[in-house]
Amino acid sequence: MDFDAIILGAGGAGLLAAATAGQAGARVLMIDHADRPGKKILISGGGRCNFTNTGTVPERFLSENPHFAKSALSRYTQWDFLSLVESHGIAWHEKTLGQLFCDGSARQIVAMLLDECRKGEVEVRLSTPIGEIGHSDGRFQLAGARAPALVIATGGPSIPKMGATGVAYDLARRFGLKVVPPRPALVPLTLGQDEVMFRELSGVACPVRARVRDVSFEEAALFTHRGLSGPAILQVSSYWRPGDEVSLRLLPDAAGRLKAARRDMPRAHLKAALAQHLPARLAEAMAGRIGLAKELGNLADTEIDAAASTLEALTFRPTGTEGYAKAEVTAGGIDTDDLSSKTMEARRVPGLYAIGEAVDVTGWLGGYNFQWAWSSGVAAGRAIAERLAQGG
């Protein structure tokens, strides 16, 4: 069976690439080993799919080449995807920090993408393994089909129990593309047995500024029985490398606040002052850690300043992450050096494309990863259509 393009992976990136190429006249076959398309879309955003972020800018993506994502993101923007959502009558809302969610269900996004694929007469084959791939005379052959274009859209290995695999990297290497070592990202961090205080706080959440290296995020952190989670921690986890220290600012302007407490409640102890700003269990744990047994009125400025510096930079060294089983995305992936940023085509293998999470581009938490899937998918879909128009 001859096609103009075969797309491997019916996730967000593959679906929009297929629809874009198909609607421009390309005969597209899409293959996925899962029994239904867009499984990660369905579970995303707590079932409501945080489908994009109004604040999408290239600086909110990690890659060995921080410039790579610029072209695709500017040629198919968050506003373009929002127009598509609106054209399907899908109601949406902004939650916080520019994050856009469906009012109803993530199923609407999958239905929309499938509808777009239908308009493009895309043939979707589910429960189909990729199998052996042949490549000769400028054509790719697999699963009894043949095409001059092959798109790797099989994502990364995060959440293997949903069928996620690292097949993208095997395919890339098979065609001579480099792979930036993949690692779990947007993932909870784990702590060693010695961090007793953190474990005792399991279940406590509070707003923090979390910092690793020179990157920081102000969002909530959640203490867990294994370490730390919550949006602020997931964000810094993408930048964290083994051995790095993480620091948490639990209380901004801690010195000012403690001095005000010393003036207003001199007979009270540190725990009571902290409890005005922090959850009770955290206030107690931090007072214990700081260890000032005196009444506030008896504390010297130097003692308050020392306590404040702990509250403004509680540092710890994670032992690791909770791994791919809990990682929302995979950082690293197919090396952007080997891809065109405009078309996502492999520089040295005409007709081979890679898009979405399979590529070494990883967004922040908050809809950025889907926007990358959409933008890179459309870039490849358009390029396939242009190739066809030029008779290639």
**Which chain residues interact with ligand FDA by CB under 6 A?**
9-14, 32-34, 39-40, 43-45, 49-50, 129-130, 153-155, 158-159, 163-165, 167, 328-329, 356-358, 367-370, 373
How far is residue 331's CA from residue 290's CA, in Å, rounded to a whole number? 37
- 136: CB partners within 8 A, 6+ apart: none
Amino acid at 159: I
For ligand FDA, give the closer residue by CB, 45 or 231: 45
Query: What's the min distance (Å) between Cβ of 366 and ligand FDA?
Result: 7
For ligand FDA, give the closer residue by CB, 131 or 243: 131
For ligand FDA, give the closer residue by CB, 171 or 283: 171
**Which position's Cβ is nearest ligand FDA?**
11
Query: What's the min distance (Å) between Cβ of 292 and ligand FDA?
Result: 42
For ligand FDA, give the closer residue by CB, 17 or 274: 17
Query: What's the min distance (Å) between Cβ of 24 and ligand FDA?
Result: 20
For ligand FDA, give the closer residue by CB, 102 or 254: 102
Among the listed residues 340, 270, 343, the one whose alpha carbon sits nearest the alpha carbon of residue 304? 270
Residue that the structure tokens 């128009």 belong to = 389
How far is residue 166's CA from residue 184's CA, in Å, rounded to a whole number? 12
Query: What's the min distance (Å) between Cβ of 314 and ligand FDA?
Result: 28
For ligand FDA, give the closer residue by CB, 113 or 299: 113
124-129 long-range contacts (CB < 8 A, ≥24 apart) are: 124/10, 124/18, 124/30, 124/32, 124/37, 125/29, 125/30, 125/31, 125/32, 126/10, 126/32, 126/34, 126/35, 126/36, 126/37, 127/32, 127/33, 127/34, 127/35, 128/31, 128/32, 128/33, 129/33
The C-alpha angle 239, 365, 210, rounded to 5 degrees, equals 50
The C-alpha angle 221, 223, 224, rounded to 5 degrees, equals 130
- Point out which residues pair with 180 in neighbouring strands: 333
How far is residue 164's CA from residue 64's CA, in Å, rounded to a whole number? 23
Query: What's the min distance (Å) between Cβ of 76 and ligand FDA?
Result: 14
Query: What's the min distance (Å) between Cβ of 41 and ligand FDA?
Result: 6
* 381's tokens: 């879909």
- 227: CB partners within 8 A, 6+ apart: 188, 189, 190, 191, 195, 198, 318, 319, 322
For ligand FDA, give the closer residue by CB, 68 or 370: 370
For ligand FDA, give the closer residue by CB, 164 or 258: 164
Query: What's the min distance (Å) between Cβ of 86 and ligand FDA?
Result: 18
Query: What's the min distance (Å) between Cβ of 182 and ligand FDA?
Result: 13
Secondary structure (3-state) at 265: coil
